[in-house]
Structure 1
Amino acid sequence: MLRRLLPAVVALIGAAIVSACAPQTVYVPQPVAVAPPPIGQACDSRFQVVNQSSRTVLTLQYSHSSLANWGVDQLGQNVLPPGRVWNARASNAGNYDFRITWAGGGAAELRQVNICLASQIIVTNRGLIAR
């Protein structure tokens, strides 16, 4: 009986070895479309206020454009002399409005600045510029 089973066992082992060496079908998953992350997650809301004017900035106020008021003076007891930079971070993504006042009088405003795209608010003698 062993002599009759031996050829069948050898054939079965040989078939297993051959099938292991044969090309295998590989499943390749198809790419899945993924929605881009919400703007708020990808937004870097850090920015700088750069005083390139010839006058000292006394106050700096900014708020989300959806709000009706300017909020508090962000400089507090400090001022921003010519040539100086002030670093800040907006609390949310979206459009912001900016307002400064100069020593000796005068003010400048800049509205609807997308804080996710602008990294600098530049104070010039003519007003504010977003870059």
Structure 2
Amino acid sequence: MTMPRRLLPAILALLGAAAVSACAPQTVYVPTPVGVAPVPSGPGCDTRFQLVNNSSRTILTFQYSHASLSSWGVDQLGQNVVAPGQVWNARAANAGAYDFRITWVGGGAAELRNINICAASRIYVTNRGMYAQ
């Protein structure tokens, strides 16, 4: 469950008040999904998707961002990897076109660009590259 952004200042103020009495400074981490300003999604747009590793190599990093952005954003796998045959579940923050990038353990990368997240439910990684379906 994600927290509405409008609640964040109030929560941070409460946490800050509690931290005044603590000996050590407090660090607050609030994860946010990759996205841009909301795009009207129309009825039935589901932004959940799966990364399916149909390659013979382990995926080390997985990045995606709205196609309108110039950067890839953070690695969505964190400390995890996606071994051959495994599936990773993800969700884009907004409707629209997205770009995807993976890197493999041991080197090499593949990219897939301008994929309508409302129409694609799976991003497949093969030894030859990536495709959406």
Q: TM-score, normalised by structure 1?
A: 0.70
> Match for 2:104 among 82, 102, 105?
102
The aligned counterpart of 2:41 is: 39
Please give the secondary structure, in 2, of the residue aligned with 1:61: strand
Task: Determine the structure 1 residue equivalent to 2:77.
Answer: 75
Structure 2 counterpart of 1:48:
50
Deviation at 1:76, TM superposition (A): 0.2
Give the superposition deviation at 1:39. Answer: 2.9
In the alignment, structure 1 segments of 5+ residues that lack a partner are: 1-37
- Percent identity of equivalent pairs: 73
Higher helix share: 1
Following TM superposition, by how much is the alpha carbon of 1:72 offset from its aligned partner in structure 2, in angstroms? Answer: 0.1
Q: Which amino acid aligns with 1:88?
A: A
Size of the alignment, in residue pairs? 94
- Name the residue aligned to 1:11: none
The answer as to whether partners of 1:56 and 1:79 remain within 8 angstroms in 2 is: yes
User: Once the two structures are superposed, what CA deviation does each residue of 1:17-43 show, in whole Å capped at 9, x if it has no partner?
Assistant: xxxxxxxxxxxxxxxxxxxxx534431
CA RMSD of aligned residues (A): 1.0
TM-score, reference length from structure 2: 0.69
Q: Which residue of 1 aligns with 2:120?
A: 118
Whichever residue aligns with residue 94 of structure 2, its letter is N
Counting only pairs closer than 5 Å after superposition, residues 81-100 of structure 1 correspond to structure 2 as 81-100=83-102
Residue 104 (structure 1) shift: 1.0
